[in-house]
Amino acid sequence: MTTKSFINLVLVTFSLLGVTNFSQVNAQDHTAENKNIKISNEPIVMQRADPFVYKHTDGYYYFTGSVPTYDAIEIRRAKTIEGLQDAEPFTVWKKHESGPMSRHIWAPEIHYLDGKWYVYFAASEEDDIWKLRPYVLELKGQDPLKDEWVELGMMQAADDDPKSFTDFSLDGTVFEHNGKRYFIWAEKTGGQFAASNLYLAEMESPIKLKTVQFMLTTPDYDWERIDFWVNEGAAVIKNKGKIYITYSASSTGPAYSMGMLEADANADLLDRNSWKKSRYPVLKTNEEKGIYGPGHNSFTVDKDGDPLMIYHARDYEKAVGDPKMVPESDKRPLEAIKADPLYDPNRHARMMEVKFDKNGRPIFEFY
């Protein structure tokens, strides 16, 4: 059986079990001898940071990401990844005017779990803009673009976990492994300017954790501590008996880069000793290529079942905040807004073929 056929069989099997999730990619036995798909560094969707692409059993690619104004959740779909740029974006949910979910609508992800559609995203409050927490939407139907999305509220910690989601929390993602479903998210303990760590827990349901939080990684190295100490934006890919978690580090300007964790596929994922962390970034700014601050990626597959990485990056080094992206309630001086890279709208979604070295470890290279 070819590698492609095996991948397709795995995905079909997941579909029949009702646990399809193409956002975690099982690359199986890919090696350095993969075909070289001709993909450029050019954007596939403009002005969409934190891009997330999910390929469903209906043959469509579903795309979402942070809109530059951070005030709504959009979803678009196309039969090909290339078609996402011109696909009509549907606004499926808008922020509240006040209270929870009224500010900073960040990093939505769309997942299909147990026969239902879910969106995971982070949001804060108009009166407390850094009170970020993870929230969940559920679709009442099977058409993510046209059916009604309902709010399930904030992601819930396990009954015996007093710490999860009690502070600045964002970038939640879901993956399945060895018959268990897991949730990874970033959380700061100590407010906005504390270190952002990545945490992992097993899930009891699409909205609740089963186990207490386990800290996967904290910013240990200098490249993870530029301007802010950050580990965030996790994504999962598997290959050759290993599970890999990519993540992003440092501030959202040119210092933004990607690191990686790995564990044996049969290891206890909630045991710190199971994980090995990359000493250096696996992807970072490349001035020669004109790509700045690559990160916050997701994984999907091409039409042949080969793995692709979707990530965001800017075309230039110095980010400048755009006052048109800022809500009216933001009364900061103009110069402060221009100095805020979060309100520079030009983090574009891009695509990269995932290659593997002779040991099956993912390699991420610009073109």
Residues designated as active site: 50, 232
If we measure between CA atoms, which residue out of 211, 11, 203 comes closest to residue 118? 203
CA distance linking residue 130 with residue 107, whole number of Å? 15
CB-based contacts of 28, cutoff 8 Å, min separation 6: 3, 6, 7, 10, 238, 239, 240
* Block residue for tokens 């099956």: 360
Token pair listed for 357: 């070295």
State the DSSP string of 52-85.
Answer: EEEE-TTS-EEEEEE-TTSSEEEEEEESSSGGGT
Token pair listed for 365: 């290279």
Token pair listed for 320: 């400048």
Q: Kind and range of the H or E element at 7? A: helix 3-17
Judge whether 39 and 74 are in contact, CB under 8 Å. no
Judge whether 198 and 217 are in contact, CB under 8 Å. yes
* Block residue for tokens 């029949």: 16
Q: Kind and range of the H or E element at 309? A: strand 307-314
Token pair listed for 84: 């996402």
Number of Cβ within 10 Å of residue 37's Cβ equals 15
Longest Cα separation, the chain: 62
